[in-house]
């Protein structure tokens, strides 16, 4: 065989190998599944809904950075303020659905689980409601409000906070305007009206400090009373305005279990973790609490220029342990909603002390993910790794 022929055979063989290799890579590339970008909603999709309460600028889509985070990270929305009674019906029978319509349309556009917040609450009521002293007139106003609002969004809003913050800290009924005029049965009345207005919607009782044993017992009594009368109630909303120190995981867990044993789902409806010190008696979210004497006090507002690394780590670890508990009981939990999208938009910058710089959420003032975000996401990566290792065994 001549040298030229040998060289030709070698070159032909090399050409065959190169061509075959390219084809194999091309085939493998074509068969690779499209990877879904890592986000909160994709990571926790099989556990529970993850969402945020959104403000007016986000509802109107003028906050471009906020909208981008909402669309990327969350799959459920709650309106922070725009669906409260004083905004929807400021005067008798005069409804303003401008922002509510935009909110629901945004949720539909983003394919969200849409929450309505809130129908019956003693706070943020229009002025005319405070002058109602007749029980029949009060009942008519409640019926008109619930049926009008829920009827407008029937089939479009998937869950409602029907009654909000009706209990005292000891579990007894709060002496609210509704309770004083209608008596203790106003809660049953509200849930009955809500069930009539949209039988397919999930109906929730929502309150703060529901980790406390006394208040927990009050919720258990309330839900059982509704159930015994055949009145629809689908879940308990634990607001979850917490701190770096408390409440304890044990108290939270005991409440998850207690509410689940009633046959209803638990929602964590207003999650945030304050990074700032508060007056010692402040717990939960009683909006009437205000401490003007502390305004401008740097000891109560120590992180104006940002969180030190040590506090970032403490916040991240707190969120990690909270979500570890949520994942442990994911069969009992329907939804986890943060009360705000980023630190700059959090209500905790103005409560209970006005003008502070708080850092209670997973995204900072520039909408960048914080260490807490990374550690929460890492739980699901760890969960997947553990699952694959168990499967291989």
My answer on whether omega of the bond before 352 falls inside 30° of 0, hence cis, is yes
* C-alpha–C-alpha distance, residues 62 and 127, integer Å: 30
- A 10 A CB-CB count for 313 gives 14
Distance from the Cα of residue 153 to its chain's centroid: 20
Structure tokens at 114: 């849409």
* Residue owning tokens 């017992």: 217
* Residue owning tokens 């609210």: 176
Please answer whether residues 219 and 167 qualify as being in contact, where contact means their C-beta atoms are separated by less than 8 angstroms.
Answer: yes
Q: Which of 73, 80, 165, 283 is catalytic?
A: 165
* Residue owning tokens 């508990």: 325
CA neighbours closer than 13 Å in the CB half-sphere of residue 27: 6
Please answer whether residues 346 and 272 qualify as being in contact, where contact means their C-beta atoms are separated by less than 8 angstroms.
Answer: yes
Dihedral sign from CA coordinates of 212, 343, 322, 202: positive
* C-alpha–C-alpha distance, residues 63 and 41, integer Å: 20
Q: Which of 80, 169, 261, 270 is catalytic?
A: 270
Distance from the Cα of residue 331 to its chain's centroid: 17
Dihedral sign from CA coordinates of 279, 164, 214, 262: negative
Active-site residue flag, 165: yes
**What interhelical angle do 371-392 and 309-328 show, nearest 10?**
40
Active-site residue flag, 270: yes
Distance from the Cα of residue 225 to its chain's centroid: 27
CA neighbours closer than 13 Å in the CB half-sphere of residue 326: 27
List beta partners, residue 101. Answer: none
Among residues 42, 43, 73, 39, the alpha carbon closest in space to that of 58 is found at 73
Catalytic positions are 165, 270
């Amino acid at each position: 065989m001549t040298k030229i022929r040998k060289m030709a055979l070698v070159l032909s063989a090399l050409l065959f190998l190169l061509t075959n290799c390219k084809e194999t890579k091309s085939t493998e590339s074509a068969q690779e599944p499209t990877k879904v970008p890592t986000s909160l909603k994709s990571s926790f999709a099989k556990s529970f809904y993850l969402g945020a309460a959104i403000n007016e600028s986000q509802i109107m889509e003028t906050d471009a950075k906020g909208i981008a985070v909402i669309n990327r990270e969350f799959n459920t929305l709650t309106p922070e303020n725009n669906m409260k009674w004083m905004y929807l019906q400021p005067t008798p029978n005069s409804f303003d659905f401008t922002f509510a319509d935009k909110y629901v349309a945004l949720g539909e556009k983003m394919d969200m689980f849409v929450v309505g917040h809130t129908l019956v609450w003693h706070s943020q009521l229009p002025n005319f409601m405070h002058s109602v002293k007749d029980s029949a007139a009060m009942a008519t106003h409640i019926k008109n409000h619930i049926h009008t609002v829920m009827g407008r969004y029937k089939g479009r809003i998937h869950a409602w906070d029907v009654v909000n913050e009706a209990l005292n800290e000891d579990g007894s009924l709060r002496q609210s305007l509704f309770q004083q005029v209608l008596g203790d049965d106003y809660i049953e009345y509200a849930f009955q009206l809500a069930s009539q207005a949209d039988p397919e919607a999930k109906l929730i009782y929502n309150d703060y400090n529901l980790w406390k044993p006394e208040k927990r017992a009050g919720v258990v009594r309330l839900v059982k009373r509704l159930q015994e009368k055949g009145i629809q109630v689908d879940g308990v909303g634990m607001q979850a305005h917490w701190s770096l120190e408390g409440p304890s995981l044990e108290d939270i867990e005991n409440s998850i279990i207690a509410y689940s044993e009633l046959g209803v789902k638990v929602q964590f409806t207003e999650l945030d973790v304050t990074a700032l010190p508060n007056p010692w008696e402040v717990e939960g979210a009683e909006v009437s609490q205000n401490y003007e004497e502390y305004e401008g006090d740097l000891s109560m507002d120590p992180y104006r220029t940002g969180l030190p690394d040590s506090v970032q780590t403490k916040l991240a670890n707190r969120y990690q342990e909270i979500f570890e508990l949520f994942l442990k009981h994911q069969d009992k939990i329907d939804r986890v909603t943060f009360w705000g999208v980023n630190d700059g938009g959090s209500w905790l910058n103005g409560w209970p002390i006005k003008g502070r710089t708080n850092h209670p959420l997973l995204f900072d003032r520039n909408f960048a993910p914080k260490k807490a975000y990374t550690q929460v996401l890492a739980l699901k990566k760890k969960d997947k790794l553990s699952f694959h290792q168990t499967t291989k065994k």
